[in-house]
Amino acid sequence: MIKPVQTELYAVIGNPVAHSLSPVMMNAAFRSMNVPATYLALQADELPDDLETLARFGFRGLSVTLPHKELAYRLADHVDDMARTIGAVNTLMREGSAWVGCNTDWLGATKALRRVTELEGREALILGAGGAARAVAFGMKREGARVTIANRCVEKGKALAKSFRCDFIPLAILDRARFDRHFDVVVQCTSVGLQGTIPTVLVSDSFFEPAMVVMETVYRPLRTPFLNAAKRAGATIVHGTDMLVYQGVAQLEWWLSRPIPEFPCVAAMKEAIHEVLSKEKNAQDD
C-alpha cells in the first residue's frame, strides 16, 4: 500500500475543477504556517469509488465542490449538526476508517456579506437550489434575513424553500419588466458565469438596483457578467473570492484543530488568489 509519509495530502474534488483557485490558496496557507501539507485539484466523476481511492492513498481532508456537495453529504459516514440541517457538505476529513463531513460554505458566505452589510431583517434572494444555495440559505436564515429562493427548476427550488421555510419564486419572474418586489441582498449560487461554461443570462440588467448588495459565488472570472450588471446599476458587489477565502479558513481550522491567524495566513491566501487573477486580467488586456 502506498501512502504519504513526508507530507499530508488534501484536495478539492469536483467536476469541473480545473478552474479552482483552492490549491493556490490552500498551499499558500500551509506555507505561511510551515505545515507539511500539499493540496491538489482532482476531477471526481464517480464519487463513491473516488472517495475509497482517496482514502487508500492517504488523503487527510477534501474540499467538495460542484456537483458533489449533496452526494458527499449522503456518502459521509458522519456529519455535524450544521451539515445535517443544510443537507450538503463542502468539507470532508478522514478519521480512522471514516469520512466525516461538515459545511463551511455558510460561514464563508455570511462572513463575506457581513463585511459590507447587516443581514438581520434584510430581504434576501438566493439564485439556485444546489449545495451552495442550501448553505447560503441556512447562513442567511441564521443571521435573521428573510430569504426567498429563485430557481429555473421549480420543483427543486420549491423543495429547498420548504426545507428552510423560505419563499419561492420561479427565476423567469425576475425578468419581468414590472417585477415589483425589492431585495436588499442577492446571492448568485449557480455555476452560471463560471470560466469555460456557456454564457447564460440569469436576470435582466433592469433587475438590479443601486441599494442592493449582490454577491457571486463563482470566483473565476473575478467579475462575472452577473456582477458586471450589478456594478453598472450601482449595486455594492461582493466577489466570489471573499466567500472562497473565508470558507477555506474554516476548513483549515477544522482540519488542523487550530485557529488560523489573519497574518500571515489569511493575508497569504488572499495575496495568492489576487496574484493569479491579476495575471489573468493582464493577459486578457494585452
Residue 258 lies in a domain: yes
Q: Is there a single domain that holds both residue 257 and residue 280?
A: yes
Q: Is there a single domain that holds both residue 118 and residue 204?
A: yes
> Which of 149, 224, 212 is CA-nearest to residue 185?
212
pLDDT given at position 199: 77
How would residue 280 be classed by pLDDT, with cut points 50, 70 and 90?
Answer: confident
Amino acid at 228: N
Tens of pLDDT along 103-143?
Answer: 999 999 999 999 999 999 999 999 999 999 999 999 999 99
pLDDT given at position 3: 80
C-beta pairs of 38-41 under 8 Å, 24+ apart in sequence? 38/7, 38/8, 38/9, 38/10, 39/10, 39/11, 39/12, 40/9, 40/10, 40/11, 40/12, 41/11, 41/12, 41/17
CATH of the domain at 212: 3.40.50.720
Q: Is there a single domain that holds both residue 116 and residue 223?
A: yes
The arithmetic mean of pLDDT across residues 35-64, rounded, is 97
Q: Is there a single domain that holds both residue 98 and residue 209?
A: no
CATH of the domain at 49: 3.40.50.10860
Whole-number average pLDDT of the chain? 94
Residue 1 lies in a domain: no
Tens of pLDDT along 168-187?
Answer: 999 988 876 556 789 999 99
Q: Is there a single domain that holds both residue 149 and residue 263?
A: no
Tens of pLDDT along 222-259?
Answer: 999 999 999 999 999 999 999 999 999 999 999 999 99
Residue 2 lies in a domain: no
pLDDT given at position 279: 87
Structural domains in the chain (count): 2
Q: Is there a single domain that holds both residue 48 and residue 64?
A: yes
Residue 43 scores a pLDDT above 70? yes
Joined together, the cell numbers standing for residue 198 give 456557456
The arithmetic mean of pLDDT across residues 185-192, rounded, is 96
Enzyme catalytic residues: 69
Which DSSP symbol is given to 39?
E
Q: Using DSSP, state whether 80 is helix, strand or coil.
A: coil
Q: Is there a single domain that holds both residue 214 and residue 139?
A: yes
pLDDT given at position 286: 55
| Spatial distance between the Cα atoms of 245 and 248, rounded to a whole number of angstroms | 5
> Which of 166, 144, 274, 146 is CA-nearest to residue 220?
274
Joined together, the cell numbers standing for residue 89 give 457538505
Residue 21 lies in a domain: yes
Q: Is there a single domain that holds both residue 230 and residue 247?
A: no
Q: Is there a single domain that holds both residue 202 and residue 223?
A: yes
What is the residue range of 178's domain?
107-238
Residue 3 lies in a domain: no
Q: Is there a single domain that holds both residue 135 and residue 216?
A: yes
Q: Is there a single domain that holds both residue 113 and residue 234?
A: yes
The arithmetic mean of pLDDT across residues 19-40, rounded, is 97
Tens of pLDDT along 143-173?
Answer: 999 999 999 999 999 999 999 999 999 998 8
Amino acid at 200: T
Tell me the longest C-alpha to C-alpha distance in the chain. Answer: 64
Q: Using DSSP, state whether 193 is helix, strand or coil.
A: coil
Amino acid at 250: A
